[in-house]
Amino acid sequence: MNYSNPSNLAVLACPGAEVFSDEVIAHLKKGYKRTFDSMIKRLSKLYNMESNAVIRQVNLFNDINFPQSSVKGSADKYRPLKIKVSAKFTHFANGEIKTEILESIRGKDLYIIQDVGNNYPVNYNNGESKKVLSVNDHLLTIFVTVDAAKQAGAQRITLVTPVYPYSRQHKAKGREGLTAGRVGKILESLGVNQIITLDLHSRDIINAFDKMKLENLHASYQMVRAFSRLPGIHNDDIVVVAPDTGAVDRNRFYANAFKKPLAMLYKERDYSRITKNAEESNIADLKLLGDIKNKTVFLSDDMVDVGGTLLSEMRFLKEHGAGKLICCISLPFFNGDAIRHFDAAYKEKLFFRIIGTNAVYQEELLKREWYISVNITNLFAQTISRLHQGLSVSSLLDNREIITRHFLEAKEQGNLASQLPFE
């Protein structure tokens, strides 16, 4: 993080995204404070000045050049940032939603955070009512919040949604809509300048936008860290398996980073069947390309909904001789009764561990022995900070060299704990 004058940075949390937002804000504050201290130390040495004198000069500079947005506080101390924006969300009896921003955001670089996959009760009407929201409810909350921010004079609006809504409806095989692109068009028309998301289901969605930018982050580094810390994993004979043709690029990335072979599952689906729970799957045929017998299987996918497809794949791999099976899932929804079915599969020893991110708010999943959660809020915080200051985010989007280096070092040392930039 570079420190300039981040006082016009603002973050607004929609209902259901408060926990994620608070962690992102905490990382932002720590990062700016750490960078500020480093800058003061460097300038003190460079100009042979006392630290307090340098701090006064920096605060004076900000007060003169940014009088409307400078952070108030003592002239000779670091001024903690106020990043979180207060807002009131009202849910009316007829189902309508209203967002009211309770402080000025005119001229702010605003980041609106929403977790459209949150299925837990969220607060409305100052906490007087709790509602379990659907994806559509969360999406409409985004719409009215963006509109409120635009009306309130925000200079730039960035939507931070680790789960991109309707991302699976990105291609039409018949008389069906391209809803993923249409959602983006609506957001663009409302005034969203850019979107930050995680492991977008298809990059084709970006082609639907005219001017809006999209930063597609990857949790690969955090996944590799968790994977590398599993006991005895570096002594295993590992093979990376792509669960379908659409996931080949993602799993080839891991195979290249690990310097391990890549196998693939080829499956044909019957799209006339809609899976409603983990006992069902619309897979009509499944074939394996590659050797997995007696090997530890590493499998990565972007999301698990009800989990029927993943359970079918696990059973298929076990029937074909796979040893230990470890899955990395960026967006672990585990909707319906999926957790119960995965509990049964774990007892059956169909898999060893599932590694997921906190991009989707979970409570029950975190209680499971078989589930490992990795925290990606600092990844989002660093992305927000860099975008806010006009810096490159390339190193956050493509981290394969770092992954390869650290995985090989972890293999030699037996752990990855001391060398990771995202804690």
Look up residue 31 and give its amino acid. G
CA angle (313, 376, 4) in 5-degree steps: 150
Task: Check residue 382 and give left, alpha or beta (phi > 0: left; psi -120 to 50: alpha).
Answer: alpha
Interatomic CA distance for residues 329 and 223, integer angstroms: 9
Structural tokens at position 388: 């806010």
**Which residue is it, tokens 């967002």?**
99
Rounded-to-integer distance, Cα 141 and Cα 16, Å: 10
Instruction: Choose, from 108, 267, 295, 318, the residue flagged as catalytic.
Output: 267
Structure tokens belonging to residue 295 = 């090997």
Gyration radius (Cα) of the chain, Å: 23
Tokens representing 389 are 């200051």
Q: Is the dihedral angle over the CA atoms 315, 317, 323, 328 positive or is it negative? A: negative
H or E stretch covering 357: strand 353-357
Other beta carbons within 10 angstroms of residue 344's beta carbon come to 12
DSSP bridge pairs for 91: 97
- Residues 6 or more apart whose CB falls under 8 angstroms from that of 232 comprise none
Residue type at position 61:
F
| Contact criterion met (CB below 8 Å) for 330 and 356 | yes
List strand residue ranges (DSSP E) for 61-204, in order: 87-91, 97-101, 109-113, 122-124, 129-131, 156-160, 194-198
Please confirm, yes or no, whether 267 is among the known catalytic residues. Answer: yes
**Helix (H) and strand (E) counts for the chain?**
11, 16
Q: What does each C-alpha distance from 251 to 232, 255, 308 come to in angstroms?
A: 22, 6, 20
d(CA 9, CA 381): 12
SS3 288: strand
Annotated catalytic residues are: 267
